[in-house]
Chains A and B, each alone.
Chain A
Amino acid sequence: MKLQVQKLYTDFLIIGGGTAGCWAALAFSENSNKKILIVEKANIKRSGCLAAGVNALNAYIAPGKKPQDYVDYARADAAEIVRGDLLLTMAQGLNRAVNGLEKAGLTILKDEHGGYAMRGERNVKINGENIKPILARKISSNPQISVLNRVNAFEYIVSGNRICGVYAIGIDSPVLYVIYARAVLCSTGGACGLYKPNNPGFSRHKMWYPPFNTGAGYAMGILAGAEMTTLEMRFVALRCKDTIAPTGTLAQGVGAKQINSCGEVYENKYGISTSQRIYGTVVENLKGRGPCFLKTSGISKQQEFDLYKAYLNMAPLQTLKWVESGEGPSMKNVEIEGTEPYIVGGHTASGYWVSTERETTIRGLFAAGDVAGGCPQKYVSGALAEGEIAAKSALKYMDESFFEIDGKEISKRKQWLESFLNRLDSEFSTDELEGEMQAAMDKYAGGISSNYSFSEKSLGIADEKIFEIERKSENLAALDMMSLVYILELKERLTLCRSVIAHLAARKETRWHIFAENSDYPECSEKWKLYVNSKMENGKLNIILRPLVKEGEFYEH
């Protein structure tokens, strides 16, 4: 198979049309009449984390609260390793983003005074089943914004540390796109599928994060020499067993407590930060007091019916499970478990090291949403707020000229991709190598089967194994464009795995249980109140330690 080369030009290129990317496009168009192109691997109508929907916006500043309160909460949850400047600027944009979503057509629950009905101090209740179609409708009615659906970006075009555009391939047709832009936003989302999932058989993709988010943005940045931060702060979610459906709706919505198999409430013993909730569950299991549950039995039939509806709006399979088994949550407690680790900057702080304006260390390349680091607890509204900040910064930057790459460089990429397409057979399949990678990460880099724990020695083994799988992946064969995309996805996961391993090894303490459970250094240390960053130079990954940045500071590279 031969690839056709197609060149495209735009002013503002957005890679990934999920929550942050779509909002960035809209924010940019409100402030400029320049052209915007969204390159999206799937279709923006239902792509990214919010495909199934979401039933609350978890980041909102309630009346009487201040953006600084949100910063304090996120800082405590992340045990200090956050960027104050990023959190504060994000928090200042949260309510504008939520109001904007409501104006676009999102249903938000109101109280008797016409304000938003709060769930706790930071959450507003919504009907978010259609949140992506709402965003997509706004995009399609905007003449400045074009969308290339089903086109998969895989490598930045960079010249002298300045972004020039991106290489991408078509999923439906054999096209190599060379896309040039005056500024670029990376909003590809985070990464899953690095570790063996909870259910590695038929239901292996029934996971917390979209299995189609494979870390393209991280890998492209790492390979282009962008500085990355806090990749060692992995995210593990506490979920309903089997369906991997959310537990927050049960805990916050009907006040269900975490109990062990003896019926004892154990959450108070370990703390209620995200990582402590999972840590408690793991320890209870290890001490023989598992399995653990959310105590829902005894809730009213009305509460149960409202839960059925709430889950249909975000994780419909949980409702199917309750109804098909005939055992709803009012009768039976819901068993819970931790997921495999993910890398996701919207919940923890992993991702690109950015300036206060959200520019990465590559000139003209901005980052927002799950791919941007230093700013955890973004959730949906934070990703929108960050998209808006990044779009405005990109507009200020706007390089006047396009820098076009040498034709030889394009031919090199074309030949490399065609080598996979023209190989008739391969010793391994992409799926087999993916399984090998996930098994190695699970066992040696702190996956579920090792209770999320690792040591310097085990990380060394993981790195060797991943290096070997990387070597094998060069000889894979692709039957069609979709299987070529699967090869590229595997390769980007492998690139990210090696960076995650290096970060886990670099932080010689255990600051966050579960997220980075270092068995050589089981205690938290004052000395490590700093960022672990990394940067690839001449093929070698170097670790850089940086002091904390507080709110009020304006950080530039």
Chain B
Amino acid sequence: MSIEINKEKCVGCGRCTEVCPGSLIKIGENSNAEIKEPQRCWGCVSCAKECPVQAIALFLGKDIGGLGGRLFVKKEESLLHWTIVKPDGRKEIITVDSRESNKY
């Protein structure tokens, strides 16, 4: 499992590079965020939550049964809008409010 960064979408703000707990993301030569060693990623999603343009997607590695789906997240005040793009391209959106507690 790891992340991929969309070069077209990335605006090079560097916020993801600051928060990564493994210091794995750097601003590369084209002023885009890059992850050179995606296999070191923990999957904590900190970077994607910081990204202002949803250029970062999470995926499950094939070695742990990943089917090619992608997970995006957009922060809007206390809300996190999670979008799952399924392998066939269909989307499912789940919104979680941080003012609302987990039920379990």
B102 CB contacts on chain A under 8 angstroms: 55-56, 109, 125-128, 249, 306, 309-310, 313
Q: Mark B37-56, 1 if CB is under 8 A from A, else 0.
A: 01111111110000000000
Q: Which of A312-335 contact B (CB under 8 A)?
A: 312-313, 316-317, 319-321, 323-326
A201 at interface (Cβ–Cβ under 8 A)? yes
B101 touching A316, Cβ below 8 Å: no
A210 at the interface (CB under 8 A from B): yes
Chain B residues near A117 (CB-CB < 8 A)? 101
* Contact stretch, chosen from A38-46, A174-182, A223-231: A38-46
Chain B residues, CB < 8 A from A149: 18
Cα separation A207 to B61 with both chains bound (whole Å): 13
Tell me the interface secondary structure of chain A in the complex. Answer: loop
Q: Identify the closest chain A residue to B69 (Cβ).
A: A324
Count how many chain B residues have C-beta atoms less than 8 Å from C-beta atoms of the other chain: 47
Chain B contact surface mostly: loop
Q: Known contacts being A127-B101, A204-B39, A310-B103, is A171 close to B45, with CB within 8 Å?
A: no
A128 to B38, CA, bound (A): 26
| A305: B residues at CB distance < 8 A | 94
**How many of chain A's residues touch chain B, expressed as a range?**
35 or more
Interface membership of B92, Cβ < 8 A: yes
Q: Does A438 contact B (CB under 8 A)?
A: no
Contacts of B30-86 to chain A: CB distance below 8 A:
38-46, 58-69, 71, 73, 80, 82, 84, 86
The answer on a CB contact under 8 Å between B23 and A206 is: no
Known: A199-B64, A201-B63. A324 touches B87 (CB 8 A): yes
Q: Which residues of chain B come closer than 8 Å to A313, judged between CB atoms?
A: 96, 102
A482 close to B (CB within 8 Å): yes
- 11 further contact pairs, Cβ within 8 A, besides A203-B2, A205-B43, A212-B21: A41-B23, A42-B20, A43-B21, A52-B44, A127-B98, A205-B42, A206-B42, A210-B42, A254-B104, A306-B102, A313-B96
Q: Are A320 and B58 in touch, CB under 8 angstroms?
A: yes
**B98 surroundings in chain A (CB, below 8 A):** 107, 127, 129-130
Q: Shortest Cβ distance from B61 into chain A, in angstroms?
A: 4
Q: A316-B45, A317-B58 are in contact. Are A119 and B104 (CB under 8 A)?
A: yes
Q: Is A243 an interface residue (CB 8 A)?
A: yes
Is A211 engaged at the interface, CB distance under 8 Å to the other chain?
A: yes
B5 interfacial contact with A, CB 8 Å? no
Q: What is the bound-complex CA distance between A108 and B100, given in angstroms?
A: 8
Q: How many whole Å from A439's CB to the nearest CB in chain B?
A: 17
B43→A206 contact, CB < 8 A = yes
B1 an interface residue at 8 Å Cβ cutoff?
yes
Chain B residues in 8 Å Cβ range of A130: 98
Judging by beta carbons under 8 Å apart, are A253 and B104 in contact?
yes
* Bound complex: CA A51 to CA B44 (Å): 6
**Counting CB contacts under 8 A, is B10 at the interface?**
no
Q: List 24 interface pairs A-B (beta carbons < 8 Å), by A numbering.
A: A41-B23, A45-B18, A46-B46, A51-B44, A52-B42, A52-B44, A119-B104, A127-B101, A129-B98, A130-B98, A199-B63, A199-B64, A202-B39, A203-B60, A205-B39, A205-B40, A206-B1, A243-B1, A243-B60, A306-B102, A310-B102, A310-B103, A324-B60, A324-B69
Across-interface contacts of A201 in B (CB, < 8 A): 61, 63
CB within 8 Å: A-B pair count: 174
Residue of B18, B20, B84 near A319 (CB, 8 A) is B84
A542 within 8 A of B: no
Chain A contacts of B38 at CB under 8 A? 202
A185 to B62, CA, bound (A): 41
6 A-B pairs with least C-beta separation = A253-B104, A324-B69, A109-B101, A51-B44, A46-B46, A242-B64
Q: By the criterion CB–CB under 8 Å, are B61 and A203 in contact? A: yes
C-alpha spacing A206/B63, complex, angstroms: 11
Query: Once bound together, how far apart are the Cα atoms of A47 and B42, in whole Å?
Result: 12
A109 to B1, CA, bound (A): 31
Q: Once the chains bind, are B22 and A211 in contact (CB under 8 Å)? A: yes
Distance between Cα atoms of A8 and B82 in the complex (Å): 43
Residues of B within 8 A of A242 (CB): 60, 64-65
| B21 & A206 in contact (Cβ 8 Å cutoff) | no
Cα A305 to Cα B96 with chains together (Å): 11
- Tell me the bound Cα distance from A56 to B104 in angstroms: 8
Closest partner residue, chain B, to A123 (CB atom)? B104
Q: Kindly supply a per-residue 1/0 record for chain A positions 186-213, scoring 1 wherever the CB is within 8 Å of any chain B CB and 0 otherwise.
A: 0000000000000101111111001110
| Residue from A43, A210, A306, A320 having most chain B Cβ neighbours under 10 A | A320
Q: Contacts A51-B44, A202-B61, A316-B82 given: A126-B23 contact, CB under 8 Å?
A: no
Determine if A309 and B96 form an interchain contact, defined as CB atoms under 8 angstroms apart.
yes
Residue of A nearest to B92 (CB): A323
The distance in angstroms between the C-alpha atoms of A109 and B98, with both chains bound, is 11
**Distance A526 CA – B92 CA, assembled complex (angstroms):** 56
Q: Is A257 part of the binding interface, using a Cβ–Cβ cutoff of 8 Å?
A: no
Which residues of the partner chain A approach B84 to less than 8 Å between Cβ atoms? 319-320, 323-324
Question: Which of chain A's residues 120-142 have a Cβ closer than 8 Å to chain B?
Answer: 125-130
Q: Which residues of A contact B46 (CB under 8 A)?
A: 45-46, 51-52
In the assembly, what is the distance between CA of A52 and CA of B49, in Å? Answer: 10
* With contact pairs A242-B64, A242-B65 given, residues A324 and B86 touching in the complex (Cβ less than 8 Å): yes
- Residues on A with C-beta less than 8 A from B71 are 316-317, 319-320
Cβ–Cβ < 8 Å partners of B82 in chain A: 312, 316, 319
A90 within 8 A of B: no
- Does A308 lie at the interface of the complex (its beta carbon under 8 Å from any beta carbon of B)? yes
The complex places the Cα of A206 from the Cα of B66 at a distance, in Å, of 13
Contact B80 A125 (CB under 8 A): no
Nearest-neighbour CB distance to chain A for B13, whole angstroms, equals 15
